Every structure is written in C-alpha cells, then in structure tokens.
Amino acid sequence: MWIIVAVLVGLVLLAVVGVAGVLVYRAMFLPGPPPATVESTLPHAATETPAAPAEAVVTPQTTDTAASEQAPATPTVTQPPVSVRSEVAVPNVLGINSAKAEQVLADVGGFNIIYNSSRYSERYAKGSIMSQSPAAGTIAHPGDAVYLAQSLGPNPTPPPRPQVTRPKPPRVTGGAGELAPFTRSRRVGDADLQYWSNWQLTLIRNEIYARHGRPFNNSNIRSWFMQQSWYAPNYNFSESWLSSLEKRNAAYIASYQKRVFGASATGP
C-alpha cells in the first residue's frame, strides 16, 4: 500500500517538474504569446472603431487662360506727398502800371488777380493801381486772390458844388436896441445862430445877462454894453434873476460857439 502511494506521489512530482521545465524553456527560448487584449471599461459605443474621415472633395477651378492673358495688370498709383503751402507777403503795387502790377504779383506768389470797378482818382495816374486788397505786407498763400482797382485818372468833369444862398447877417452897431431880443421869449436853435460871427454870438449871449445889469470884467464886452442906452450895471447882480429860458439860451449859445468855432470869442 505504501509502495503504491509513494509511486503515485513520485509520478505527480515528475509531472510537475516536467511541466515546470517546459514552461521555463518556452519562456527563455520561444517568442512570447501576443499580449492579451484588455477590454475597455468604457461604454460599448466608445470602443467602436471610428469611421475613417471623409475625403474632401476638391472642385477644380476652371481657369480661362485667354481671359487671364488679355486682362491688363492694374497699375500701381503712387500718390504724391501732400506739401504744406508756403506763405508769402503781398507786395505793394499801388501807383504802378496794371501790367507791371500783374507781373509782380505773379512773380512773388502766383496770385489770382481780380479787378474791381475802375474809379477816378486825383492821386493815382490813369492806368495805375489805386487800391489793392489784401493790403501790402499781408501774409498770404500762393494762388490766393488779390483784388485790384485801376485808376481812371482825375475826373475831367467834377460835379458842380451846390450853391447855397444865404441872407446877409444883420450889421452890428453901437447904440440903442438889443441884438437878439428873441432870446428872452423863445428857445434859440442853430437856425437862429448860423449867420452870426463868433464875436457877435459872444455879445448876444452876454446880452441876456446885461438886461439884468450884470457888470463885465472883459473890457471889450464892457465897452460894448456901456454904449447901449438900455444897459445899467448893477453890482448886486445875481444869476438867479435870470429865467429858466434865459439860462437855457445862454448855455445853448455857449455850446454852439464851442462846437462851431472851438471856443467863445473875447473880442472883435
């Protein structure tokens, strides 16, 4: 019995050793088996082999050889650089001949000359430039407009001056009577004074005071009124004795003398 068991155990050991030897031999000398395919744990849809990308369909372009040969090439346009306009001073052409004036303006700045209406002038000879705009020395740009006016020379037939007929002013003499009695009764104006001299107006103005007896320091005025029969000096004279109308007329005559003659006359 024991002998049978020992034989069986021996056979099992030999079988194990034989298998182990075969495995070692194959591992060392024979090529290994292909690696096991590991199935993906992803869902089944993700493990499917992706479809090959569709090939792009290229549509060939039809080239019109004849048209391409005949079409001219688009020329390249080069824009000139923008230049800054220079500045020049307008020359003085007053008093010179119009043809020479045009030449001067053209040489200096190529100005655009425009003529205004010609006029008579006592200062500038016929055919010369009598006015220009812009004035000489004005800073302008080449090509700007310059306005000129040509002289026609002196006016051969100046218009006649209007004839003004004036009555002769009243003659002032010594003796009785007032020069301007109206100064006490109404307001005076330029029409009342325009025909009198500066000295006469001084007497008329002081006549307003002389009626009330005012004494005068000016010898010429005092001598005149001392010759009047109606005049009598009153050394207590006061301007308050004058009416408002007389004061107004005296002030108006004084302002008229200053406006017309520059100052009041103090003697003949």
User: pLDDT tens for residues 144-174?
Assistant: 999 999 998 888 876 666 655 554 444 333 3
Name the average pLDDT for the chain: 76
**All structural domains of the chain with their residue ranges:** 88-150, 181-261
DSSP H or E segment with residue 75 = none
Rounded alpha-carbon distances, angstroms, from residue 208 to 124, 218, 230, 250, 257: 54, 16, 13, 7, 16
Average pLDDT over residues 15-44: 57
pLDDT in tens, 65-76: 444 455 555 656
**What is the CATH code for 88-150?**
3.30.10.20
| 181-261 maps to CATH 1.20.58.1690 | yes
Q: What is the dihedral of CA 161, 125, 103, 108, to 10 degrees?
A: -70
Do the Cβ atoms of 209 and 249 come closer than 8 Å?
no
For residue 9, which amino acid is it?
V
Tally helices (H) and strands (E) across the chain.
Answer: 7, 5
Strand partners, 4: none
CB 228 within 8 A of CB 207: no
CB 198 within 8 A of CB 222: no
* Residue 204: exposure state from Cβ atoms within 10 A (0-12, 13-18, ≥19): buried
Q: Per-residue pLDDT tens for 202-244?
A: 999 999 999 899 999 999 999 988 988 888 899 889 888 899 9
Reported pTM: 0.36
DSSP per residue, 20-32: HHHHHHHHHHSPP
33-47, 96-110, 197-211: segment of lowest average pLDDT? 33-47
